Amino acid sequence: MKKVSILIALVLLVSMSSFALASGPRTTGFQIQNLGDGDAEVYIYYYNTDGSTECMDGPVTIGVGESRNWYQGLDGCIGALPGSWQGSAVIESTQPVAVIANIAEGGDYAAGAYVGTSGTTAGAPLILPAIMSGAGYFGFTTDFAIQNAGADTAACTLEFYQTGEATPDKTIPSFNVEVGASYYRNQETQDADLGANWLGVVIADCNQPMAGTINQKPLGGAAGALLTYDAVAADKIPTGDISLPVIMWNFFDFWTGLQLIATDAAGAAGTISIYDSSGVLAHSEPFTLGQYGSHVLVPDLVGGSFSGTADELYSAAIDFTSGAGTAMVNQRNMAGAIGMTYSGIYGANMTEGLSIPFGARNYYGVSTGFQVVNTGAAGDIMVYYDGSPGSGSVSTTVGPISLGAGDAVPLQQFLVGGDDPDLQGCTTCGSAGTGNRWYGSIRVVGDAGMSLSAIVNERGFDQSVVGDVGQVYNAFNYVP
């Protein structure tokens, strides 16, 4: 099938990296799910950092509702890339698709996940939250990549704003990023001059639309978590509330911290509210911020009106009375050195349908769980578990599940020690091979008028590695 030029608007950008860092080489795999009403013809272009094309996969056909996995050295160009390759990928499709990518680090094992950025949501300037000094922020630092989603060479500058400051502490003067290519920066080797315990925001001001990915990692290559999340284009941030579908206060030894960043020139003001699983308000606090100012909330430190309940999942909402912004959430298991990070979901982008490109139940020791939050009209949701074609994984359906306005429901595919009798999720998914079980994609479809959001946790409950075996990514909103 011949692709037409209008489909360029559906291009997705996935930042890929296998660059050898102190904590071990990185490899990347990704999953593409077809959200359209016909077969998707997909092409994948792999770009070197100078903008030249290293390799191309395609055409690959993905059926309606189905997904396809490109994993580390196993498929197509990924298997043919040089061993120390670092670059980016652009995915073109004749149907709307959703893409998630997983990064795995060898040595002291660590893993992270992030979503591909649609060409329609890439933009400028690019907001990169929770950037940490190369000298370390309480033992952690960051690296990031920004990718050119435009039609011409991007001229960019970087500005580093410390939390609470209105002027940048550091500026990187103009540099170019070629079409489809990416620019990579490692704070540990390039930004130690920011000083110890520096935390802030980087603004990538470019003359082309951009996408970006950030990694938080232990300083000095020490064993520990890899927390991966997406940058946000300031010109694509809608006004209105932000949903944070999963907030943890000692949820099976996991804890949460969140950061809100104001993006409007006039700043932002409003309230951050935390709700229990029944939609009851557990805590709220106001914020007033100047442009690029940030507000940090750590539920463990709130006390008073919010002491939390162990093993209960909470959710949060950010309501703006003026301005707009973006937010990100860290989930940490301090004792196990496992970390996961996701970006807040804008109320204006919520729909009655959710796409989860990769779901698993004990697949090579990895299982997924997700919490669906409804901020719209009351209604029912159906959850469709679509087994990956050719894997032996069966498909099944869960529901209807009733959700009122503000209600949430966790759907866990696996729990250590056996399934809870009241567990809602893919508990009956069939085997996908001896010792390995279900994997595929998941769709959540709600009644008209519902506004759904979800994030997906991937956990290596039964993997034979020591380190960070936790990843998280945002579910994709779409209209079923």
Q: Is the pLDDT of residue 59 over 90?
A: no
Token pair of 419 as six digits: 């399934």
Token pair of 475 as six digits: 């579910």
DSSP H or E stretch at residue 300: helix 299-302
**Options 2.60.40.1120, 3.20.20.140, 2.60.290.11, 3.40.50.150; CATH of 350-478:** 2.60.290.11
What is the per-residue pLDDT for 107? 55
What is the per-residue pLDDT for 352? 94
Give the chain's largest Cα–Cα span: 61
Domain over 239-331 is classified CATH 2.60.290.11: yes
Contact (Cβ atoms closer than 8 angstroms) between residue 447 and residue 88: no
Sheet with 140-148, side-by-side order of all strands:
182-186, 140-148, 210-218, 227-230
Domain ranges in the chain with CATH number 2.60.290.11:
5-235, 239-331, 350-478
Greater pLDDT, 89 or 148: 148
10 Å CB burial of residue 427 (0-12, 13-18, 19+) is middle
Domain boundaries 5-235, CATH class: mainly beta
Greater pLDDT, 108 or 454: 454
Query: Which amino acid type is present at position 341?
Result: T
Q: Is the pLDDT of residue 464 over 90?
A: no
CA distance 389 to 268: 47
Nearest by Cα to 360 from 36, 118, 71: 71
Contact (Cβ atoms closer than 8 angstroms) between residue 12 and residue 117: yes
Token pair of 209 as six digits: 């639309």
Q: What is the mean pLDDT of residues 450-477?
A: 70
Residues above pLDDT 70, as percent of the chain: 77
User: Which pLDDT band holds residue 347 (cuts at 50, 70, 90)?
Assistant: confident
What is the per-residue pLDDT for 14? 42
Nearest by Cα to 156 from 108, 97, 205: 205
Q: Is the pLDDT of residue 460 over 70?
A: no
- Please compute, for residue 220, the number of CA atoms within 13 A of its CA located in the half-sphere on the CB side: 6
What is the per-residue pLDDT for 9? 26
Strand partners, 254: 251
SS3 349: helix
Per-residue pLDDT reduced to its tens digit, 399-427: 899 999 888 888 876 655 455 444 455 65
Nearest by Cα to 192 from 261, 136, 250: 136
SS3 190: helix
DSSP track, 117-167: EETTT-BSSEEEEEEE-TT-BTTEEEEEEEEE-SSSPEEEEEEEEETT-SS
Whole-prediction pTM: 0.76
10 Å CB burial of residue 392 (0-12, 13-18, 19+) is middle
CA distance 252 to 356: 23
Q: Please list, residue by residue across 408-422, b when 16 or more beta carbons sit within 10 angstroms of its beta carbon and e when fewer do.
A: bbbbbbbeeeeeeee
Greater pLDDT, 469 or 27: 27
CA distance 479 to 37: 12
User: Which pLDDT band holds residue 334 (cuts at 50, 70, 90)?
Assistant: low
Q: Is the pLDDT of residue 152 over 90?
A: yes
DSSP track, 63-106: -TT-EEEE-GGGSHHHHHS-TT-EEEEEEEESS-EEEEEEEEET
Q: Is the dihedral of CA 366, 42, 384, 246 positive or negative?
A: positive
